Structures are given as C-alpha cells and as structure tokens.
Amino acid sequence: MSTAAPESCHHRLVKTRIIATMGPACKDAETIRQLILEGVDIFRLNFAHGTHEWLDDVLHQIRAISDELKIPVGVLGDLSGPKIRLGRIRGDELMCSEQSTIRFVHSRESDEPHDLTCTYEKLIDDVGLGDRILLADGTVGLVVTGKAEDGQSITCVVAEPGIIRSKQGVNLPGVALSTPCVTQKDEEDLAWALERQVDFIGLSFVRSADDITQLKSMIDRRNPKTLPIVVAKIEKTEAIADLDRILEVTDAVMVARGDLGVEAEISRVPILQKEIIRRCNQERIPVITATQMLDSMTTSDLPTRAEVSDVANAVIDGTDAVMLSGETAIGRHPITCVRMMQKIVHQSEPFVIGRGVEDPHTDESRRANPITEAVSLGATVVANSLDADLIVVATDSGRTALALSGQRGRVPILAVTHRQDIVRRLCLYWGVTSIQSTLVRQSADALLQFVVQWGLDHRVLKSGQKIVVVGHTNWLGDGHDLMMVHVVP
C-alpha cells in the first residue's frame, strides 16, 4: 500500500472533529473536495431532505474523493424521526394574536383560517388540558384549554403570539407521545444506509434508552456487513430525564440544541450542553455539539462574536465534534464556514484539560483490557512529559484509540488499522487521525517503519522528532502490550 500523498494534500493531525451537513450548497465534487481539505471529518446526510437517488450520488462522490485524497471521511445518516409539522395553512401563514383561540382538527386539511392540522394524527389524543404546544421553533406558544367530546379537535389559547406558516415544526414539551421513535420512513432510510455501509446512524427525538435498543435490534435483524455507530440525538426533555440509561446503550451522543432549546427552557440549554458533554467524557462516549454554531454564516462572510465564543466553549468543555447544519447545506459560503470553524477549533484546543486516570466503572464495552488501558495511560503521560510529536497506536476494534482519545492529551494520536470500517469510525474520536494498512498485523518494527515513512511523506514528521508507539509484540497470537519511544532518524 503506497503512502504517497497527492501534491495538494498535506495531511492534518486532527483533534476536535468537524461534521458538515450535505445539501444543495455543497453537493458538487469540487466543493466536497475543498471541504475535506479544509477539515471536514464526517459528512451528515439528513434523511429529512433529499431522495435516495440524490443521496446515492452524494455518497458516491464523498467516498471517491476521500479515496483519491487518501483522507478517511465518515458518513452520518441522520434519521428524521417522528418530527411533527403543521399541515397547509390557508394563505400559507397565520398571525396568532395573544389570547386568540386556535383549534387543531383531525382532518388532513381545513379551510377555516383558525383551524390547524398536522402530520401527527394522534396529537389530539395525546395532549391534555393545560399542555403547551409550541410552533415555529418555539416562537409561538399555545395552551390547550378544551377537547371536543367527539375527540376530533382541541381548543387552544395563544399564550405567546407570532406568525406561523405552513409545514413549520410542532413541539409538545413534556407530552408523552404514542408514536414510535422509528417511523416507517426511518426504516426505509435505515435499510438504504445499512446496504451502503454508512458509518454512523443518528436517531432523532430520542425519548428513552428503549428507543436506542429498538434501533439496534432493527440493525441486528438486517445483519449488515458492518455495524454502524448509533448516535442518540438529545433534543427532548424525556431524554434528559433518562440520560443515565441512554448512555448505557448508545454508542455516541449528539447535543441537538435546536429542538432541545424548544422542548426545554432555552436558558437551560448551555448548562444541559455542558452536563451532557461532561457525562459523555466520563463514560468515554463520543459527543457531538450541533445546531446554529455558526448560523449567521449561512448568509454572512463572518460569524458573530457570540458564535465564535459558543464554538470555543464547546471545544474547551470537551466535545469530540462540532457540527454545521444549514451553514454548509444551504449557506452561501460552505467552504469559508468550515475554514472558520477550523480556525476557532485550533485556537481553542490548547485550553482542553487532560483527564488522567478515568473512572474504573466506565462500561467494559468501551474499554480495552486492563493492561492495554494502563499502557495507553502511560503512553499519554510519557508523550506529554517528553513533548513528543506523535502517539502511534495499532488498533483492530478502535478501543485502544478510544482509550487514548479519552485522555485528552496534548500529543496528536495516529491510529493504524487494517479495517476500512474502523478507519472511518475513528473519524469521530477526538485527537485521533486514522490510516489504513495491513502492515499493522505484522510486527511492531514494520508498523514503526510504515508510520515514519508516512509521516515524512505527509510532512507531519521530520528528523529528530519523537514518536511514542503503543503496540503488541505479536499481532497474530499471544504476546505482550508494549510502549516504546522512537526518534525519527
């Protein structure tokens, strides 16, 4: 396997990962290429938008360009979930005046100006007197004041006035919905994603750990060639209440601040974000911070100062990844936006605090064996102490790389694996740059020679620099974990 890099590609040793959402603004091959070169580690496919035919074309381009550049890139398939939306409104918009009366009716359409319909047929059954219904991203608030005896409508009073439009989102904070978390559309999108070996599957509007368990059972029943990482999107108050159990069963977490800021009191969102990141770090679960991170750059060349501070604080708090949504999907400047995100991340990372010894009660499925864990901790300490330039780890499942990532050390990590699915999965791990090579299964010396040559070819290493290697004396049988320090000749 050649290690030579294209002339235009100087490989990046990454720490905080960047996720970009695909859309009309970045669907062409040249834009995808530039986004990867500017720092995108994972592309998000939002199944709420775009046909499978369109997604097929996008996915093919992402993987072809990733292979051409020899830069691994992951793909996140984001299931829509039971998103509730308004139906058609007469005239397409309605001014909801304070204390005016609005009705929700069961029928799919209504010509009455103050009658609303929605995509969720059981809304009228699920809500009760006094429940709140939030519309237009929470800017308009209704309170349920009555139910018709025939069960065909509910009456609401406008508590927070404003304008609503056709197809806008509906949120029911605190209401226990009877709809399943995985819809029929989600099942079809999941089948498409598994067939194409998409690396990560995001589950929207998670309410409890049972939703994650249900999705994983669906995946297992389809017996895919490779198992994707399941990402629980935390955007409902029920998920906050069941966070402990969700963290026991999910593979990764997304702090989806958009709907979370509607479902929960918006002033609580920063504290909830910090707590979720802290808990994920503690449990060694990769965590993504998402929504409106550089929102003003959808139309502007520069972010606001508040957005820059928001991204920086998420990085300093310990998020593994930051995600761009509309900024890259429909924005005017997707490449500029990623470039700006990379600059903010780079400036913030020196303030990330290392962790040292982790909680011994971390789930065993997320830990390597005790000896490897100890060697990984020692490698981080030694690398920091010697001011080394690179930690190299050979990994089969990615657990050792995750152990090193969890330390949040100062020294970048290079993970070498023979498995293509693991290479792309590692695109979510903080501080880990991944490459693929079959030499990893031969010997520690072969691994070292490969890495040094790779580093010289990609201009990330030069003579006199120090490498700390975490490996094994015998990849194909019984052997011993080892750590060694090497100076590049």
Q: What is the DSSP letter of 353?
A: P
- Catalytic residue chosen out of the listed positions 15, 44, 70, 424: 44
Active site residue 31: no
Angle formed by the axes of helices 305-317 and 269-283, nearest 10°: 30
Rounded CA separation 363/367 (Å): 7
Tokens 């003579």 sit at which residue? 463
Active site residue 179: no
Strand, coil or helix: what is 83?
coil
- Catalytic residue chosen out of the listed positions 21, 117, 289, 291: 291
- Catalytic residue chosen out of the listed positions 85, 196, 410, 419: 85
Cα three-residue angle 259-123-169, rounded to 5 degrees: 30
Rounded CA separation 369/345 (Å): 32
- Give the β-pairing of 321-324 and 466-472: unpaired
- Catalytic residue chosen out of the listed positions 33, 132, 233, 424: 233
Rounded CA separation 466/202 (Å): 39
Active site residue 233: yes
Nearest residue to 410 via CA among 360, 469, 350, 451: 350
Active site residue 274: no
Count Cβ atoms within 10 A of the Cβ of residue 303 and give its class: 0-12 exposed, 13-18 middle, 19 or more buried.
buried
**Helix runs in 70-148, H state only:** 123-126
Q: Are 316 and 300 in contact (CB under 8 A)?
A: no
Q: What token pair was written down for 346?
A: 């780079």
Residues with active-site annotation? 44, 85, 233, 291
